[in-house]
Structure 1
Amino acid sequence: MRDSHGEPAGYIFNAELYCPAHIADALPTGDGDAYDGWAVAAGIEITAEENLDEIAIAFGIDRDDEATFDSSEFPKVIRHGQLGGECGACGAPVGE
């Protein structure tokens, strides 16, 4: 979900903030989970945005209209200066 503001500073998912490097690991991609089989395989180089775009398309999620889904279902974008906090995975600043 790139726009005139550039790349996302991070994401909010399940009431937790994540930096772009860790959002894919936060998605429920295990057996029987919501996004079963959609984990990024070892050796695959893909940006967080590309990964989220692919999953959103496959599951009918309109990332351009964040009012159509809840952040407990799919990650929402955080822009720089929009919200401050720390990544739930690594503790790095998100959105500041």
Structure 2
Amino acid sequence: MKRIADQTNLLGINASIEAARAGTMGRGFGVVAEEIRKLSNETVSSTEKIRTTLTNIQKSMDEISASIEKVVEVGNDQAASTQEIASFIDEIEKMSKQLNKYASDLL
């Protein structure tokens, strides 16, 4: 995009030169040439703003991706912990049943 803007600016400069050579008759064309150069400069500025915005969006996307990875990791850790707790509860339940059986046998 910058290359097109640079070429447009060069075209505007050349048009201004030709308008100056034409003298009074080229004055209107000179105004158009100046507007072309302004448009070229605005294009360069807009292109830089777009590039900066895209860079910021990419950074934000990378940060979001990293955050999602952390959330998934925490979720996996919690799932593993929940499974471990469930196993402990099962073991406690088995032991409780055995204790009840021993208590029943003693009575």
TM over 0.5: no
Q: Which TM-score bucket, shorter chain as reference?
A: under 0.3
Q: TM-score, normalised by structure 2?
A: 0.21
Higher helix fraction: Structure 1 or Structure 2?
2
Greater CA radius of gyration, 1 or 2?
2
Larger RCO, structures 1/2 (Cα 8 Å, 6+ apart): 1
